[in-house]
Amino acid sequence: MADFSNYMSPGRKGYLIGIGGVSMSSLAEVLLGMGIVVCGSDSNRSGNVRSLEAKGIHVEIGHRPENIPADIDFVVRTAAVRDENPEIRRAREMNIPVFERTEAWGAISRDYGNAVCISGTHGKTTTTSMCTHILMAADKDPTVMIGGTLPLLNAGHRVGHGNVIVMEACEYYNSFLSFHPTVAVILNIEADHLDFFKDLYDVEKSFRAFASRVPDDGFVVANYDDLNTMQTLMDLDRKIVTFGLDPRADVHAEHIEYLGANSHFDIYYKGRRFTDVTLHVPGQHNVKNALAATAAAICLGIRPNAVKYGLAGFNGAGRRFEFKGKFNGADVYDDYAHHPGELKCLLDTVETLNYKRTVLVFQPHTYSRTAALFQDFVTQLKRPDVVLLAEIFAAREQNTIGISSAALAQKIEGAAFYPTFEELEKALRALAEPGDIILTVGAGDVYKIGEHLTENGT
């Protein structure tokens, strides 16, 4: 089997299928920075695609066999690109090696003395972003791969010259088993991606395999408060550093004060005060994310002040409780939450902010997730004052289940389903009032509603 490391040299030429995706566009720029000639394709000319084109990367719109140049050395694809893709078929016919995106990132991570890989069902983007802030404050000049936009970088990636890489590590399709972590962070483990995994036990097996990839002198950072995580790592022969709100965790918080959207707390490490932190993102879940980032920093030997000031400078990542503006006196926020556990964290946070009403616009993500976790979604969607449901965002799937957001609406008193964004936005404009918080929520394109709403908001 081909090893992507053999293609990481200046002058090589690579073709990336789905190059406009968050991780793929970051990969394209990292490879470009290594002197590799990069081109690729995507289904539409998104903002990421336009940014790549501005850097001289040629992008074909649409997937056709003739797109593959004769002089290509390798092809990289996302997990969503199947073998039936015409460009994949053509590459196979030409005997061009085809790599998964995570194989490429995994090979890149091998070049760093310290590879911090952030995994978990929830919180990966935020925690990776917090780690980035800490590493920058510590002058570590890190290379970064984030599944979202970080204002500090004005991008989702960074090419550094230090010996640390920090990156999100997703379990879907066992993708993170291509990585080579020296510090493997596990934020939490829940049943998700059940179109690939059989059940929660299957998910846990994957996370244990991920943790086992850490070398003997590396670290596994684990959420002490999460029963699934601790059970998954039971008797694992690796150095484990725990974090959590429980004072028995190696890294834990004391004297937590929640001050509106901010919080202040002391961080303790193995019984001794490490530093104090002021956090400018709301919610208990973000306190836990900050503890995870701190634990990873401790594993790297980073000084307390870099943690303190790095976290103080973090004001959130793109699409993570991101303030979009105002409409008719209501505050409009957008969030990527697409799992019931993430919805719970989001709504728990919003309930502490004393808005008059919570108006939730939710777009479920994938048919399989909606069906598998249907009752858990219903439980959380009953909590807001007003619920407006957009149709399910298909992503990589076909609707072989025959499910619709209308089925959720039928189970939630007062909820309304709107087949189109136009109808939903019209309803939202009619009901928004001063004192409301409007949340556009989901991993699809629901954010467009909030952006359109606030373009001329007051």
Do 278 and 330 belong to one domain?
no
Residues 192-234 pLDDT 10s: 998 999 999 999 999 999 999 999 999 999 999 999 999 999 9
Do 410 and 389 belong to one domain?
yes
SS3 content of the chain, % helix, strand, coil (to 5): 35, 25, 40
Do 342 and 304 belong to one domain?
no
Residues 55-82 pLDDT 10s: 999 999 999 999 999 999 999 998 778 8
What three-state secondary structure class fits 316?
coil
Catalytic, 124? Answer yes
> In the predicted model, is pLDDT for residue 28 greater than 70?
yes
- Tokens found for residue 234: 């039971």
CATH number, residue 85: 3.40.50.720
User: In the structure, what pLDDT confidence band is assigned to residue 155 with cuts at 50, 70 and 90?
Assistant: confident
Out of 102, 121, 125, 370, pick the active-site residue: 125
The residue with greater pLDDT, 357 or 22, is 357
Residues 6+ apart with CB under 8 A from 422: none
Is residue 317 domain-resident? no
Instruction: Over range 312-338, report the average pLDDT.
Output: 94
Out of 78, 124, 149, 190, pick the active-site residue: 124
Bridge-based pairing state of the strands 219-223 and 155-158: unpaired
Do 299 and 329 belong to one domain?
no
Do 245 and 213 belong to one domain?
yes
- Tokens found for residue 448: 């467009």
End-to-end, the C-alpha distance of the chain in Å comes to 58
**Which of 70, 100, 130 corresponds to the end of one domain?**
100
Residues 6+ apart with CB under 8 A from 160: 140, 141, 142, 143, 144
Is residue 292 domain-resident? yes
CATH number, residue 273: 3.40.1190.10
Instruction: Over range 21-49, report the average pLDDT.
Output: 91
User: In the structure, what pLDDT confidence band is assigned to residue 396 with cuts at 50, 70 and 90?
Assistant: confident
> In the predicted model, is pLDDT for residue 318 greater than 90?
no
User: In the structure, what pLDDT confidence band is assigned to residue 458 with cuts at 50, 70 and 90?
Assistant: low
The residue with greater pLDDT, 356 or 47, is 356
Do 128 and 46 belong to one domain?
no
> In the predicted model, is pLDDT for residue 323 greater than 80?
yes
- DSSP labels, 63-75: --GGGS-TT--EE
**Which of 100, 126, 152 corresponds to the end of one domain?**
100
Looking at residue 80, what is its pLDDT? 78
Out of 103, 168, 171, 391, pick the active-site residue: 168
Catalytic, 125? Answer yes
Given the structure tokens 């299928």, which residue do they identify? Answer: 17
Output the pTM of the full model.
0.88
pLDDT mean across residues, the chain: 95
Is residue 416 domain-resident? yes
Do 152 and 225 belong to one domain?
yes
Do 353 and 300 belong to one domain?
no
Percentage of the chain lying above the pLDDT 90 cut: 89
Residues 6+ apart with CB under 8 A from 6: none
**Which of 100, 131, 161 corresponds to the end of one domain?**
100
A 10 A CB-CB count for 421 gives 18
Question: b/e per residue, 230-253, with b = 16+ CB within 10 A?
Answer: bebbeeeebebbbbbbeeebbbbb
Looking at residue 457, what is its pLDDT? 61
> In the predicted model, is pLDDT for residue 261 greater than 60?
yes
Catalytic, 126? Answer no
CATH number, residue 416: 3.90.190.20
Instruction: Over range 29-50, report the average pLDDT.
Output: 92
Q: Which domain holds residue 393?
A: 322-454
Is residue 107 domain-resident? no
Do 302 and 375 belong to one domain?
no
Is residue 221 domain-resident? yes
Is residue 105 domain-resident? no
Is residue 106 domain-resident? no
Do 253 and 126 belong to one domain?
yes
Given the structure tokens 């097996």, which residue do they identify? Answer: 205
Question: b/e per residue, 117-133, with b = 16+ CB within 10 A?
Answer: bbbbbbbbbbbbbbbbb
- How far, in Å, CA of 316 to CA of 336, rounded? 12
Do 244 and 215 belong to one domain?
yes
> In the predicted model, is pLDDT for residue 33 greater than 90?
no
Q: What is the DSSP letter of 328?
A: T
Q: How many domains does the chain have?
A: 3
Looking at residue 342, what is its pLDDT? 95
Is residue 239 domain-resident? yes
Residues 122-153 pLDDT 10s: 999 999 999 999 999 999 999 999 988 899 99
Which of these, 284, 243, 249, lies nearest to 265 by C-alpha position?
284
Looking at residue 136, what is its pLDDT? 98
Do 181 and 270 belong to one domain?
yes
